[in-house]
């Protein structure tokens, strides 16, 4: 990964725990079974890339471009995604652990979180218009001034969202999930 530009490459079983990999560009690259935990990917650009079975926990992403990046079965604990570049920011998650990550103030329209753990994730000020939370665990996730118009929570669970501070016109919820919208009222529904 010493080259500055990588196009169409496959990186497999790379162990770079706690390492700095900065000022690189990756396009159409695949990362499989890699461990970049506690590392620093600041000032990199990832375009149309995929991470599968990787550990990226506590990875620094200051001014990193994530432009159509897919994460599948990855550990992404505590990642401050809010530090990523806003320009063309586009991510997709499947079967990932995103606990304690922060997407504060990011524009993430139509982002898909499929079978993900999102415990205590911060979505403060995030635009999640049309996002899909399919079978997603949102235990103690923080929604505050979060744009949720058209978002799909029909199979999501453990969420508590205040409709008074989070615009959610045409958002979808299951009958059981409605309780997560009424939590602040401390009422019992039987």
pLDDT digits (tens, 9 = 90+) for 2-59: 889 999 999 999 999 999 999 999 999 999 999 999 999 999 999 999 999 999 999 9
- Residue of 114, 102, 95 lying closest to 154 (CA atoms): 114
- Residue of 65, 56, 68, 101 lying closest to 84 (CA atoms): 65
DSSP state of 170: T
DSSP state of 159: -
pTM, to two decimals:
0.93
pLDDT digits (tens, 9 = 90+) for 89-110: 999 999 999 999 999 999 999 9
- Residue of 18, 15, 47 lying closest to 30 (CA atoms): 47
- Residue of 115, 185, 106, 103 lying closest to 157 (CA atoms): 115
């Amino acid at each position: 990964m010493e080259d500055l530009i990588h196009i169409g490459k496959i990186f497999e079983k790379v162990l770079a725990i706690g390492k700095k990999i900065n000022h690189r560009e990756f396009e159409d690259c695949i990362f499989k079974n890699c461990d970049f935990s506690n590392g620093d990917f600041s000032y990199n650009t990832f375009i149309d890339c995929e991470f599968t079975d990787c550990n990226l926990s506590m990875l620094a992403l200051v001014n990193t471009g994530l432009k159509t990046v897919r994460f599948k079965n990855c550990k992404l604990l505590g990642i401050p995604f809010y530090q990523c570049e806003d320009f063309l920011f586009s991510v997709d998650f499947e079967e990932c652990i995103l606990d304690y990550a922060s997407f504060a103030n990011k524009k993430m329209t139509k982002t898909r979180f499929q079978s993900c753990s999102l415990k205590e994730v911060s979505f403060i000020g995030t635009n999640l218009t049309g996002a899909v939370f399919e079978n997603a665990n949102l235990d103690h996730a923080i929604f505050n001034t979060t744009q949720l118009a058209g978002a799909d929570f029909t199979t999501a669970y453990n969420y508590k969202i205040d409709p008074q501070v989070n615009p959610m016109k045409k958002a979808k919820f299951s009958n059981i999930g409605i309780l997560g919208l009424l939590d602040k009222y401390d009422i019992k529904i039987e």
